[in-house]
Structure 1
Amino acid sequence: MTQNLVRVVDVYPYRLMADGYRFLLLRRAVGTLYAGQWRMVGGKIQQDETAWQAALRELIEETGYPPQTFWALPSVNTFYNWKLDAVLLTPAFAAELERDPTLNHEHDRFGWFSTEEALRLLVWEEQKRLLSLTNRYLQTGTILPDWIIPHM
């Protein structure tokens, strides 16, 4: 029987620049899962860790520093994994960053991209949808206080 699983998280880092909001994408290094793909921050939820704690940890691991603002998107990335016969539910978060990342071994490049540029680089449709949703909340200023996660 097919089951629902929550095992990983997605984080959509952004920064307000002179020409508007830009999204941070990281290119996966050779020898890693999804090598060569441009992706947002993401990773596995560890035992005894909440989804938001995993997202914050992954963000710090993959960028080198904590966010200025950190919030939960009111939506999840969903997809079916045939090997597990499971629907994976991926909680999604957004994070405002102040500077360029310090890359770890998982990535070989980074870039700050406009929404349109980022949508061309991302491969997975659900990730494109969530990046667009993040941009919509930023553009309209409709991030609800209940979504903001205190993290300092």
Structure 2
Amino acid sequence: MIPIRSVVVSSVLLSKIEGEFKILLMKRVKGGFWCHVAGKVELDETASQAILREIREETNIQPKHLFSADYIEQFYEASLNVIEMIPAFVAICQDEQTVVLNKEHTEYRWCSLPEAKALVVFSNQRKLYDFVWENFVENKPEPLLQIY
């Protein structure tokens, strides 16, 4: 048996940089790979409260709007022998959003969709970015997905 675990949330952050939507990617200290915001849900937190806390902790950003992405990231974590199920969110940030990284990351970039997909190493990240781009940039998001 392989347990299914859901203790982490994630968010793709979008900002208009020089008039074009971009995705925020950060390079993690641990592992040295590029990623979007993610972190564990703490006791007595909802998923949306947890992702807002993680966004604030990792980037010092307060998004203008937060949406459920209507997407679950999933992968097998071999070290724990679990299938991770991670609810994804989309955070719409101020235009030309500034970023203040915490100690978990060494650098950041606001990326076009092709740039973001070229930087990340995991296929599920690329699938998530394609999904977010199609449903939140190229098309207007479904209002029922908006959290605030």
Question: What is the TM-score of this pair, normalised by structure 2?
Answer: 0.92
Q: How many angstroms does 1:19 deviate by? A: 4.7
Residue of structure 2 equivalent to 1:79: 75
Q: Distance in 2 between matches of 1:65 and 1:121?
A: 22
Q: How many angstroms does 1:53 deviate by? A: 1.3
Residue of structure 1 equivalent to 2:4: 4
Residue of structure 1 equivalent to 2:38: 42
Residue of structure 1 equivalent to 2:109: 111
Unpaired runs of at least 5, structure 2:
none
Aligned equivalent of 2:54, options 45, 51, 58? 58
Identity of aligned residues (%): 31
Q: Distance in 1 between matches of 2:5 and 2:18?
A: 40
Q: How many angstroms does 1:83 deviate by? A: 3.0
RMSD between aligned residues: 1.3
Q: How many angstroms does 1:44 deviate by? A: 0.9
Residue of structure 2 equivalent to 1:143: 141
Residue of structure 2 equivalent to 1:133: 131
Q: Number of aligned residue pairs: give it.
A: 146
Q: Distance in 1 between matches of 2:2 and 2:44?
A: 24
Q: Distance in 2 between matches of 1:112 and 1:149?
A: 24
Residue of structure 1 equivalent to 2:20: 20
Question: What is the TM-score of this pair, normalised by structure 1?
Answer: 0.89
Q: How many angstroms does 1:105 deviate by? A: 0.9
Letter of the structure 2 residue corresponding to residue 55 of structure 1: I
User: What does the per-residue CA deviation read over 1:66-94, in whole Å, with 9 as the maximum and x for residues that have no partner?
Assistant: 10111111110001123322211011011
Residue of structure 2 equivalent to 1:67: 63
- Give 4+ residue runs of structure 1 displaced > 6 Å after superposition: none
Q: Give the 3-state SS of the residue equivalent to 1:88 in structure 2.
A: strand
Letter of the structure 1 residue corresponding to residue 61 of structure 2: Y
Q: Which moved more, 1:68-77 or 1:139-148?
A: 139-148
